[in-house]
């Protein structure tokens, strides 16, 4: 029996009800309390995906005075001011390169400069090992949040859109782009007056690290195509490895006409930049290392630096790995460098652990690692090698090599010579060092002496069969 004056508490039917976080869901209706649209946007963003995220320890950026040409090209393209009119007309720029080519460093350097020059709308750096940024679920919210911070009028429009549709973050990627980016931008521009430069550049880095499902990566590209077809207010810089499914997606007619491609391994030689990077880093070591007094005056010699540049094969990851190993404060730098050059026994911490893990991951995830290793031994032993002859020696069908190497396009390339021969070539010379070192390669190790004997025997068999027919 209720007491006099007491307020009657209404009964609540809890059937079909869920309490999830701060939201109360009943009969499929969501009650979000006092959360504003902007607060909900923050809940669905991925701070770790920002170019200057504090979560990323020492995020890679280009060494001073390196990658100058490529960075300037991207900046000019974002403004539509390159000398190449065809490039200016493309709303998507695909920057692709092999493993360790420095794509993320270039992307971060472009982002940093773009921010300083008021050209940057937003960034999203995918990371396979980070569950907050290894999928597309938080992509649009993260980009939209960044626009809110630089365009106050945009924030008002986005907040209203989210409050009108609190479930927007569970809708398709295309719908999210329309609701959280395109429409608010259009509203903002409709009210914009004056000649102030409006930022246009959006950077999406590490597309190949977005989900283990390649369909997700392709769907994102097709969504970007839809976005650029509905607005001219955004330009996308997309950075990734040259994975086969991405090559195929970009080759489709719907994508081919709206993107411009820069292949780091072809268009922008990094040798001079890597040489400058190594010279600067070794100079820093000689000036500031705790054991600098133990270093010879002429250390390291120009020949050693050039040897390291050559082994880098235009990929910054090798040079950066060497520097991190040599600059260890617990060892003499000259002795660490001698270990890298195999002039003394290695230390307990092997120099190329990070690089070896990269090689092992790429080879092991391929469909036929055993045959891949058989194929790789040819360019390791003989340099660029004719694919037709390689297929005969390994008794493969015509065209098999290109198919089998589909998953290795970040480590090898297939090129047609001026004479019409199709050859396979390593993008990383250090890959050969890895494969022929049992301590580094483990179960991927290749005994090149034994392999060479096998090749000779198989070649003799091929020649014998040819002449007997």
For range 236-241, the mean pLDDT: 96
Q: Looking at 66-70, 119-123, 193-197, 256-260, which range is the least confident one?
A: 193-197
Confidence of residue 212 (pLDDT cuts 50, 70, 90): low
Q: Looking at 237-246, 306-315, 346-355, which range is the least confident one?
A: 346-355
Rounded to 10°, the helix 302-312/271-288 angle is 130
Supply the CATH classification number for the domain 363-468.
1.10.10
The pLDDT of residue 315 is 86
What is the rounded CA–CA span in Å between residue 183 and residue 240?
Answer: 28
Q: Looking at 266-275, 361-370, 435-444, 446-455, which range is the least confident one?
A: 266-275
For range 2-18, the mean pLDDT: 39
Summarize pLDDT for 408-450 with one digit per residue, the tens: 888 998 888 888 889 999 988 899 999 999 989 999 999 999 9
Q: What is the mean pLDDT of the chain?
A: 87
For range 270-279, the mean pLDDT: 92
CB 281 within 8 A of CB 327: yes
Is pLDDT above 60 for 68? yes
Strand arrangement of the beta sheet that strand 422-426 belongs to: 385-386, 422-426, 412-416
For domain 23-267, give the fold: Rossmann fold (3.40.50)
Is pLDDT above 80 for 263? yes
Is pLDDT above 50 for 19? no
User: Domain residue spans in the chain?
Assistant: 23-267, 271-351, 363-468
- Residues 6 or more apart from 437 whose CB is under 8 A from it? 445
Confidence of residue 466 (pLDDT cuts 50, 70, 90): low
Fold matches, 23-267 and 363-468: no
The pTM of the full predicted model, rounded to 2 decimals, is: 0.83
Closest CA to 285 of 329, 238, 351: 329
Is pLDDT above 70 for 248? yes
């Amino acid at each position: 029996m209720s007491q006099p004056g007491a307020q009657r508490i209404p009964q609540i039917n809890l059937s079909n009800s869920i309490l999830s976080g701060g939201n109360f869901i009943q009969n499929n209706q969501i009650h979000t309390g006092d959360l504003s649209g902007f607060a909900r946007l923050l809940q669905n963003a991925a701070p770790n995906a920002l170019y200057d995220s504090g979560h990323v320890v020492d995020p890679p950026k280009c060494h001073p005075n390196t990658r100058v040409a490529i960075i300037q090209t991207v900046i000019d393209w974002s403004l539509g001011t390159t000398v190449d009119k065809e490039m200016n007309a493309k709303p998507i720029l695909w920057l692709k390169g092999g493993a360790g080519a420095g794509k993320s460093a270039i992307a971060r350097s472009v982002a940093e400069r773009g921010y300083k020059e008021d050209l940057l709308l937003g960034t999203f750096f995918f990371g396979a090992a980070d569950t907050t940024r290894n999928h597309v679920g938080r992509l649009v919210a993260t980009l939209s949040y960044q626009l809110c911070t630089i365009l106050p009028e945009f924030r008002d429009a986005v907040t209203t859109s989210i409050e009108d549709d609190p479930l927007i973050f569970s809708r398709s990627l295309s719908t999210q782009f329309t609701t959280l980016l395109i429409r608010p931008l259009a509203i903002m521009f409709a009210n914009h007056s004056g000649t102030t430069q409006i930022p246009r550049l959006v950077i999406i880095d590490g597309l190949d690290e977005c989900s283990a499902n390649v369909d997700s990566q392709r769907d994102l590209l097709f969504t970007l195509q839809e976005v650029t077809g509905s607005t001219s207010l955004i330009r996308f810089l997309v950075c990734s490895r040259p994975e086969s499914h991405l090559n195929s997606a970009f080759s489709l007619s719907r994508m081919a006409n709206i993107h411009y491609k820069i292949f780091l391994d072809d268009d922008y030689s990094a040798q001079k930049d890597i040489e400058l990077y190594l010279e600067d880093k070794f100079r820093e070591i000689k000036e500031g290392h705790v054991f600098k007094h133990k270093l010879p005056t002429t250390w390291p010699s120009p020949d050693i630096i050039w040897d390291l540049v050559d082994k880098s094969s235009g990929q910054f990851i090798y040079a950066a790995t060497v520097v991190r190993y040599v600059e260890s404060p617990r060892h003499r730098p000259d002795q660490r460098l001698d270990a890298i050059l195999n002039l003394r026994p290695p230390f307990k911490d092997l120099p190329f652990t990070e690089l070896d893990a990269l090689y092992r991951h790429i080879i092991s995830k391929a469909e036929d690692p055993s045959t891949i290793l058989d194929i790789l031994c040819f360019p390791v032993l003989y340099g660029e090698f004719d694919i037709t002859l390689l297929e005969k020696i390994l008794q493969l069908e015509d065209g098999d090599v290109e198919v089998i190497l589909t998953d290795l396009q970040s480590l090898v390339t297939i090129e047609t010579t001026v004479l019409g021969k199709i050859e396979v070539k390593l993008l990383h010379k250090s890959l050969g060092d890895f494969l022929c070192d049992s301590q580094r390669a483990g179960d991927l190790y290749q005994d090149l002496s034994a392999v060479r004997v096998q090749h000779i025997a198989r070649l003799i068999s091929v020649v014998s069969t040819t002449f007997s027919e």
